[in-house]
Homo-oligomer: A and B are copies of this chain.
Amino acid sequence: LSEAPSISGSRGPRRPTINDVAALSGVSKATVSNVIRGTGSVSERTRERVQQAIATLGYRPNAAARTLVRRRTNVIGLIVGDFANAFNAELVERVEQEASSREYTTLVCTTGKHPEFEAARLETLLEQRVDGIALLQFSGDRTLMSKLLTERVPVVGVSCWDDYIDCVAVDDYAGIALAVDHLVALGHRRIGYLTDELIESTTRLVRLDACERVLGMHGLELPRELVLGGDDPTRPGPGRSPVEGLFSRADAPTAIVATNDNVAIALIDELESLGLSVPDDVSVVGFDGSAVAGLARVGLTTVAQPAQELASDGLDLLLQRIDGGPDEAIRQRRLEPALIERRSTAPPKIPTK
């Protein structure tokens, strides 16, 4: 009749607290705390009694209470885009494993295909008072970045670049150069570029720019009409797709450099559904080195990013920033990419003059 009120979320008897342990073992909660954390000096006898009490009670420290007094969560937040891009998922998994091995818990926030969720997700991480944030995806929104900066929360870009924060990313220029040089060496002269509106914005621009510059060094150009994807509003529209439009032209490119494996693979699908053969009619190079590119049936030539190193270096940077504070100099690292040649690239069928 006069039961405890059924507070939503309260389940039966309340969980044991440090006070319960203290009472059962006949010591103060300060001592229990010392035993749990292995700090201070506790006699062997006391320690055993306390541990006994912990075991019989099934006591487990409450992270929120600890966080409150320690002003530190031991949680790091991750902002990541779309898992449809397999490389994102792979990177998240590695970062999580790295964090976990360093006694950190990870709060993963995906923005999916909605970069506009980014602000809300960041807000969540800030409310949770994460000790640091790893950006695997960043829209490039300056307002957001300056908010992060004024919050003085440790932030690292992992496979994601911003001038004002610690970063580790693949050397985009070198990666694109690997792709372009490979195609040029095969004899391609008319090379297009495929971007992805979902890719992190700085990277998108850097890679596109790199492509143009590297082509320039070979005496080649990247005319506007050979750039596909990105902010092209005609893409999902009616009528011919941009890909179909481009490849029905007389001066269609013989090769495409794609900004990531995800769109590269989608492009191959579309080209082949149009009756074009890869690599006979068109060569395609991806970027990421995701597992799916390596399937024999896919066989995508791609520029591989060192995923494990990105994850562990990224975490190093973040943890050092957490310990060092915001006034240490910004540290940025570029990692070396590697070309993986598979069967999506070949010499052009009809050599251009």
| Residues of chain A at the chain B interface (Cβ within 8 Å) | 6-12, 58, 60-65, 67-68, 71-73, 82-84, 86, 89-90, 92-93, 96-97, 100, 105-110, 112, 117, 121, 123-124, 126-129, 131, 150-154, 265, 268-269, 272-273, 291-292, 295-298, 322-323, 325-326
CA distance A269 to B124 in the complex (A): 42
CA distance A128 to B151 in the complex (A): 24
CA distance A108 to B79 in the complex (A): 12
Nearest residue, chain B, Cβ from A108: B108
Given that A9-B71, A68-B64 are contacting pairs, would A105 and B86 also be in contact in the complex, using a CB cutoff of 8 Å?
no
CA distance A117 to B100 in the complex (A): 10
CA distance A106 to B108 in the complex (A): 7
User: A184 → chain B, closest Cβ, in Å?
Assistant: 26
Asked if residues B71 and A68 are in contact (CB atoms below 8 Å), the reply is no
Asked if residues A83 and B72 are in contact (CB atoms below 8 Å), the reply is no
Asked if residues B297 and A268 are in contact (CB atoms below 8 Å), the reply is yes
Instruction: For A296, list chain B residues within 8 Å (CB).
Output: 268-269, 272-273
Asked if residues A93 and B68 are in contact (CB atoms below 8 Å), the reply is no
User: A83 → chain B, closest Cβ, in Å?
Assistant: 4
Asked if residues A105 and B131 are in contact (CB atoms below 8 Å), the reply is no
Instruction: For A110, list chain B residues within 8 Å (CB).
Output: 92-93, 96-97
